[in-house]
């Protein structure tokens, strides 16, 4: 049962990464170095996801590290989108301040301020996938019934 849930989590994560990567490519989200970060992480995430199928401890460790980077990149992206929107809104109306400015910033369509939160969600999903993964445990901690895979 746990193995089936783990496989479902990985399948969901891979589908999420493929959809996000395609969405970013269609939106031309590769014009600068900052915009390449999520694309590079998604590409690495797909590779590491395939690697984890072998049930190796190194792959699980790599997935954990990468998923922490996903979470960090998500928060960084939210900050960058927010600051970009703030600058644009203040150019359009320098008198904006406080709550009205905040609402304009977070409801802006381009770039959507909270879109990078999907990176946070993918990172958390990947961390849940690796939680107590049999391949990530020390040999002495393993049950004789653990297969080590997925």
> Secondary structure of 24-68 in the HEC alphabet?
HHHCCCCCCHHHHHHHHHHHHHHHHHHHHCCCCHHHHHHHHHHHH
Closest of 132, 17, 9 to residue 74, by C-alpha? 17
Confidence bin at 145 (pLDDT 50/70/90): low
Q: State the pTM of this model.
A: 0.86
Share of the chain above pLDDT 90, in %: 77
The yes-or-no verdict on residue 20 having pLDDT over 80 is yes
92-108: pLDDT as tens digits: 999 999 999 999 999 98
């Amino acid at each position: 049962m746990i193995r089936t849930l783990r496989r479902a989590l990985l399948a969901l994560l891979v589908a999420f990464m493929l959809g996000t990567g395609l969405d970013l490519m269609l939106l031309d989200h590769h014009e600068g170095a900052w915009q390449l970060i999520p694309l590079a992480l998604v590409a690495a995430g797909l590779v590491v996801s395939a690697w984890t199928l072998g049930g190796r401890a190194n792959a699980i460790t790599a997935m954990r590290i990468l998923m922490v980077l996903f979470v960090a990149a998500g928060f960084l992206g939210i900050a960058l989108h927010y600051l970009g929107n703030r600058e644009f809104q203040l150019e359009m109306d320098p008198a904006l301040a406080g709550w009205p400015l905040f609402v304009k910033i977070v409801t802006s369509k381009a770039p959507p301020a909270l879109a990078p939160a999907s990176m946070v969600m993918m990172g958390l999903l990947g961390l849940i996938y690796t939680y107590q993964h049999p391949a990530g445990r020390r040999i002495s901690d393993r049950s004789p019934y653990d297969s080590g895979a997925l």
